[in-house]
Amino acid sequence: MTRKVRWNPESTDPLAKDDTSVPVSNAYAVLGEALPDGTFKSFALPGDSGSMLVRLAQHPTNEVSLTEAAGIVYGIIWEDPHQAFVGFYVPLNDVIKNIEATTGQTVNVSVPDVRQAGLAWNYEELGKGKSTYDLK
Amino acid sequence: MSGAAELMSLDEPLIFNITRQMRESYIAVSSSGVDVVNAKEMNIKILQFVLRSQMSDIRLYHNPCDKFAVDEDLQRARINFARLYKQCDVMAILPRPELGVVRYTLPLHPFPLPKSIRNPTQSTFPHQLATIVAKVSEISANFAIYSSSFGIQPTVSLPTISVILPGLDTDSAREIISYVHSIYNPFDCDAFIIRVATGEVRAAGRIWHYQQVPPGSSISPNETLYCSNVQCVCNRAELTDAEDEELAGIREAIAGSLGCYCTLGGDDKHRYAITAGHVAHPNPRHLSCIRSAPCPSGAQVGVRRYGIQVGCSDRFDKGMCYR
């Protein structure tokens, strides 16, 4: 959903009450899933800044048929009325356009999938069973 | 008690006469004739020497627990070591406690061994480690031994071999401590300091170790940051209250996530990571470009960075590319 925002963009701290140096801007936000009691599940939490927001297209047979990169999460706002964190993101197209404008080079996010070569996202499984001490 | 513990358990240890005078002398000349970079390096060496003194006796650095009690004299010695650090810390290198927190002692933590330590010790470390492992395994059935840096913060820490034992009040533990002290001097700068501590081994369960980190994973360490840029405002010896408050966020633990990787132009060799601006660069006045970031092949990060304008605001949120 599209919203409006006026917030300190340098640090994400709130602006001072009389500070009008930052104009109101369009913003893209995601609210968590609505619950029957009128509250919402938290979609994003502090620490999620910078992560990629993805959209999953679901096939009628419940299989995920497509994963789309929607944008980069840059702010999380606590909404008192809904008792939930609202995630704000910048659409990935805007990010790419601005990187291209700044660097003068084309951006390619289709990083070669090198899994087939056994080089990336490769992991080594160590140990057995579940930790009983919350070690991660 | 003996050695450093005995000297520092007095109400006013004699060394305070020297360190207080040293601090006053520094403050008298600091505004006119101090090379900040050299002064900082020398100050770190002084603090590291104090740390060596503290590491010379297990009772001065081991945290109190049910297996290790600290009496009144020992607690006074520990507090006096914290006072000694403060008196020697003329360049404000050590972390300041949070507002409202009164801290009598400075906690010590393990840190990764920096490359600057790792390379020069490549020849001596294996021999020292093999000697320790051979002796400890001969005496104790249960132990864990690992190397790390150990200290107050990464800049004020020393290369250490930690020997973890089930307890300290057993004959085997006493024999190991005695042996370690007999062959390794904590003031020998060419050898690792041997740190003895108590601990236990627990099953970690199944874990997945990714050699290359996937998108969406943590890009920052969620631990207190320190700035290695001596020119940065946060490393100035004296800050105004406003600056101190402004830069508090740099010192606090923060975490952020990686968005995705990308490449630029036809260059497929260099891969960049995209994240939110305040994750990559938490404060505009903080000049350090060193960040912990998932990066293929352990390549250095933060070499190239772009501030990108996104959104509709006149000022901008910053998207950052890291190399």
pLDDT digits (tens, 9 = 90+) for A21-67: 877 777 888 887 777 877 777 787 767 778 888 888 877 777 777 77
- Which residues of chain B from 258 to 297 reach within 8 Å of chain A, CB to CB? 258-265, 268, 271, 274-280, 282-284, 296
Give the strand pairing for B207-210 and A123-126: antiparallel
Q: Cβ contact (<8 Å) for B256 and A52?
A: no
**Inter-chain touch A49–B276, beta carbons under 8 Å:** yes
**Higher confidence at residue A101 or residue B99?**
A101
CATH architecture of B108-200: 2-Layer Sandwich (3.30)
- Whether chain A has a CB inside 8 Å of the CB on B202: the answer is yes
Measured CA to CA in angstroms, residue B109 lies from B61, B155, B161, B220 at distances of: 10, 12, 13, 19
Asked if B119 and B113 touch (Cβ cutoff 8 Å), the reply is no
pTM over 0.80: no
Q: How far apart are CA B70 and CA B62, in angstroms?
A: 9
User: Is residue B197 within 8 Å of B62, Cβ to Cβ?
Assistant: yes
Check: CB of residue B2 under 8 Å from CB of residue B56.
no
- Nearest chain A residue (CA) to B247: A11
Which of B319, B292, B263, B278 is closest to A71 using CA atoms?
A: B319
In eight-state DSSP terms, residue B305 is B
Q: Per the structure block, which two tokens stand in for B37?
A: 């970079």
- The answer to whether B310 contacts chain A (CB < 8 Å) is yes
Closest to A83 (Cα-Cα) out of A35, A121, A46, A15? A35
Chain A residues near residue B307 by CB distance under 8 angstroms = 102
ipTM greater than cut 0.90: no
pLDDT value at residue A35: 79
Decide if B159 touches A, using CB distance below 8 A.
no
- Higher-pLDDT residue of B160, A12: B160
Nearest-angstrom CA–CA distance, A42 and A82 = 10
B315 touches chain A (CB under 8 A): yes
Cβ proximity of B110 and B150 under 8 Å? yes
DSSP H helices in B89-170 = 115-118, 125-139
* Range(s) of chain B covered by CATH 3.30.460: 108-200
| DSSP designation for B218 | B
Distance CA B189, CA B159 (A): 9
Nearest CA to CA, how far is A61 from chain B (Å)? 27
> What are the backbone dihedrals phi and psi of residue B88, each rounded to the nearest 5 degrees, phi first?
-80, -15
Contacts of B207 in chain A (CB under 8 A): 125-127, 135-136
The predicted structure's pLDDT at residue B195: 92
β-strand partners of B190:
none
Segment holding B160, helix H or strand E: strand B156-165
Q: How many A-B residue pairs are in contact by the CB < 8 A criterion? A: 176
* Record: contact B257-A121, CB cut-off 8 A: no
State the Cα–Cα distance between residues A117 and B113, nearest whole angstrom: 32
Residues of B in contact with A75 (CB under 8 A): 276
| Nearest-by-CA chain B residue for A130 | B205
What is the C-alpha to C-alpha distance for residues B237 and B281, in angstroms, rounded to an integer?
22
If one counts every other C-beta atom within 10 angstroms of the C-beta of residue B127, the result is 10
Contact B84, B50 (CB under 8 A): yes
Helix (H) or strand (E) holding B4: helix B3-8
Residue B86, SS3 per DSSP: helix
Chain B residues inside the 8 Å CB shell of A23? 312-314
SS3 category, B146? strand
* C-alpha–C-alpha distance, residues B228 and B230, integer Å: 6
- The chain-wide mean pLDDT, for chain B, equals 74
B72-88 vs B15-30: helix axis angle to the nearest 10?
20
User: How would you write the pLDDT of chain B (323 residues) with one tens digit per residue?
Assistant: 557 888 888 888 989 999 988 888 888 887 777 777 888 889 999 999 999 999 998 888 888 777 778 888 888 999 999 999 989 998 888 887 666 666 678 888 888 887 777 666 667 788 888 899 999 988 888 888 988 889 998 889 999 999 998 888 888 899 999 998 888 888 888 889 999 998 877 666 666 665 555 555 555 544 445 565 666 666 666 777 777 766 665 555 455 677 887 888 888 777 777 887 766 655 555 554 444 444 433 333 333 444 443 332 222 233 333 32
**Residue B51 confidence (pLDDT):** 95
Q: Which amino acid would we find at residue B108?
A: L
Contacts B209 to A, Cβ<8 Å: 123-126
Interface contact flag, B259 A128, Cβ < 8 Å: no
DSSP-assigned letters across all residues of A31-68: -PPB-TTS-B--S--TT-TTPEEEEEEEPTTS-EEEEE
- Which member of A25, A108, A120 has the closest CB to residue B262? A108
B213 CA to centre of own chain: 24
Q: Is the four-CA dihedral A34, A37, A41, A45 of positive or negative sign? A: positive
